């Protein structure tokens, strides 16, 4: 590809939210952190286990037969999760995402979704899609609104190399089709791009999902956790991802759906649908970060790169009342000052041993 095509689209990539889309000043009395950000999205990890061993997330050499996953009694129960979620919703959370590990491995997950769906929030789930064909209908019936499926390649050989458990791409595609058929739509497809490993899959994925009604998004490979051996030169900047697609299918930018949306939205000029890029490394979006994460064992993390959490499970199991929990959650959010991706440089990348794993905290 010649550079002449890369440069114009690289310039089109936004470095800030589009005009009029910046975070509005919060109403007085609303819960804001030290950088004026509101809490809007709660991500709940329901298991630290997974049936895949994606090379960038749970490399086999680390997550092997001897790896100490959390014992069952350390996991938050559904009752505990729902209690915490309700308090978050009272504090302004509008969207709950269920994640993991692989969330569909958690037994009776539909029961949790059914209870969460009674709250006035959108409920979504991120999954590797391996069990989706079987579970899509039950998830929909339980009240799940939408689903995001991770898919790191179209080619079976590359996909199997990425998941490292020989899982065929056809079964994930069947899961995506099942989700769309039961109305868990629009289905979002997330591809984490690792330069030199699966970046040759960008165009095949784009070709496959054009005109499908699904929204394909590419995520820059991040330095989460301490086991994936992350290197900056394995990050393919989203400007380059866009340039590659743009060279075959011309693109144009579209506005964010809401302030603080993580994915930058684009559409094919010929009406082939929408795609997105999540530039977690090259264009940090910390200034509009409204996310908080509840780990499988009830630790609250205010940043994907936080070095430690806040122990809500201890409070829950000591018999704390809702008001005490509310005060703790509010105090954690008010004290939040995180902006890891904004200040990350090759020199500041955190020492590996200090970071929490993506499969533990959820994406």
Cβ 252 vs Cβ 269: under 8 Å: yes
> Of ligand SF4, ligand SAM, none, which one does residue 338 interact with (CB within 5 to 8 Å by kind)?
ligand SF4
Nearest to 57, CA basis, from 180, 207, 227, 194: 227
Is 338 a binding residue for ligand SF4 by CB under 6 A? The answer is: yes
Q: Interacting stretch for ligand SAM, rule CB under 6 A, among 8-16, 168-176, 205-213, 220-228?
A: 220-228
Secondary structure of residue 235 in the 3-state scheme: strand
Interface pick for ligand SF4 out of 149, 176, 300, 303 (rule CB under 6 A): 303
Query: What residues pair up with 311 in beta bridges, in sequence order?
Result: 299
Is 359 a binding residue for ligand SAM by CB under 6 A? The answer is: yes
* Site map 80..99 versus ligand SAM, x via CB under 6 A: -------------------x
Instruction: Report which secondary-structure segment, H or E, holds 314.
Output: helix 312-317
Which residue has the closest beta carbon to ligand SAM? Answer: 363
Q: Per the structure block, which two tokens stand in for 173?
A: 């595609």
Nearest to ligand SAM of 299, 359 (CB atom)? 359
Applying the rule CB under 6 A, the residues between 79 and 108 that interact with ligand SF4 are 100-102
Interface pick for ligand SF4 out of 249, 285, 333, 360 (rule CB under 6 A): 285
Nearest to ligand SF4 of 260, 273 (CB atom)? 260
d(CA 16, CA 142): 37
**What is the phi-psi region of residue 20: left when phi exceeds 0, alpha when psi lies from -120 to 50, beta otherwise?**
left
Nearest to ligand SF4 of 46, 202 (CB atom)? 46
Interface pick for ligand SAM out of 139, 158, 222, 325 (rule CB under 6 A): 222
Is 124 a binding residue for ligand SAM by CB under 6 A? The answer is: no
Nearest to 74, CA basis, from 36, 45, 99, 105: 45
Q: Interacting stretch for ligand SF4, rule CB under 6 A, among 19-27, 53-61, 178-186, 240-248?
A: 53-61
* DSSP structural state of residue 352: G
**CA-to-CA separations, 168 to 152, 161, 176, 275, in angstroms, rounded:** 12, 10, 13, 24
Place of tokens 């956790």: 225
Is 45 a binding residue for ligand SF4 by CB under 6 A? The answer is: no
Is 302 a binding residue for ligand SAM by CB under 6 A? The answer is: no
d(CA 80, CA 167): 33
Nearest to ligand SF4 of 201, 251 (CB atom)? 201
DSSP letters spanning 180-209: HHHT--SPEEEEEEBTTTTGGGHHHHHHHH
Q: Interacting stretch for ligand SF4, rule CB under 6 A, among 39-47, 52-60, 108-116, 242-250?
A: 52-60
Say which residues have a Cβ less than 8 Å from residue 142's Cβ, sequence separation at least 6: 110, 111, 113, 114, 117
Is 224 a binding residue for ligand SAM by CB under 6 A? The answer is: yes
- Could you tell me whether strands 95-99 and 299-301 are parallel, antiparallel, or unpaired per DSSP bridges? unpaired
Is 55 a binding residue for ligand SF4 by CB under 6 A? The answer is: no
> Of ligand SF4, ligand SAM, none, which one does residue 99 interact with (CB within 5 to 8 Å by kind)?
ligand SAM
Q: Tell whether omega for the bond before 186 is within 30 degrees of 0, i.e. cis.
A: yes
Shortest CB 53 distance to ligand SF4, Å: 6
Shortest CB 163 distance to ligand SAM, Å: 9
Is 340 a binding residue for ligand SF4 by CB under 6 A? The answer is: yes
| Sites of contact with ligand SF4 (CB under 6 A) | 50, 52-54, 57-58, 100-102, 128, 150, 284-286, 289, 291, 303-305, 338-341, 359
């Amino acid at each position: 590809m010649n550079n002449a095509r890369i440069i114009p689209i690289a310039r089109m990539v936004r470095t800030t939210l589009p005009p009029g889309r910046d975070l509005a000043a919060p109403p007085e009395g609303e819960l804001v952190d030290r950088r004026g950000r509101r809490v809007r999205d709660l991500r709940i990890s329901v298991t630290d286990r997974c049936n895949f061993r994606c090379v960038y997330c749970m490399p086999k050499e680390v997550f092997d037969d001897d790896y100490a996953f959390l014992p069952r009694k350390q996991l938050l129960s559904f009752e505990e999760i729902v209690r915490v979620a309700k308090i978050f919703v009272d504090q302004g959370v509008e969207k709950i995402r269920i994640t993991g590990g692989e969330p569909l491995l958690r037994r009776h997950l539909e029961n949790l979704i059914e209870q969460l769906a009674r709250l006035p929030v959108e409920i979504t789930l991120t999954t590797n899609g391996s069990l989706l064909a079987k579970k899509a209908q039950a998830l929909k019936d339980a009240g799940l609104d939408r689903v995001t499926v991770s898919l790191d390649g179209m080619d079976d050989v590359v996909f199997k190399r990425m998941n490292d458990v020989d899982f065929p791409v056809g079964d994930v595609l069947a899961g995506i089709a099942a989700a769309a058929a039961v109305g868990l739509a629009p289905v979002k497809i997330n591809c984490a791009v690792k330069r030199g490993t699966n970046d040759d899959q960008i165009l095949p994925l784009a070709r496959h999902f054009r005109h499908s009604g699904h929204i394909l998004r590419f995520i820059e490979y991040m330095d989460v956790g301490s086991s994936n051996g992350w290197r900056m030169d394995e990050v393919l900047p989203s400007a380059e991802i866009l340039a590659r697609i743009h060279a075959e299918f011309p693109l144009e930018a579209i506005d964010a759906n809401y302030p603080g949306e993580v994915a930058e939205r684009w559409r094919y000029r010929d009406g082939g649908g929408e795609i997105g890029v999540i530039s977690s490394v090259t264009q940090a979006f910390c200034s509009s970060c409204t996310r908080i994460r509840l780990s499988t064992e009830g630790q609250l993390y205010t940043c994907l790169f936080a070095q430690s959490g806040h122990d809500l499970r201890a409070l829950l199991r000591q018999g704390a009342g809702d008001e005490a929990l509310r005060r703790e959650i509010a105090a954690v959010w008010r004290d939040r000052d995180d902006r890891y991706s904004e200040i990350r440089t090759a020199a500041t990348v955190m020492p590996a041993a200090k970071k929490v794993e993506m499969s533990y905290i959820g994406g």
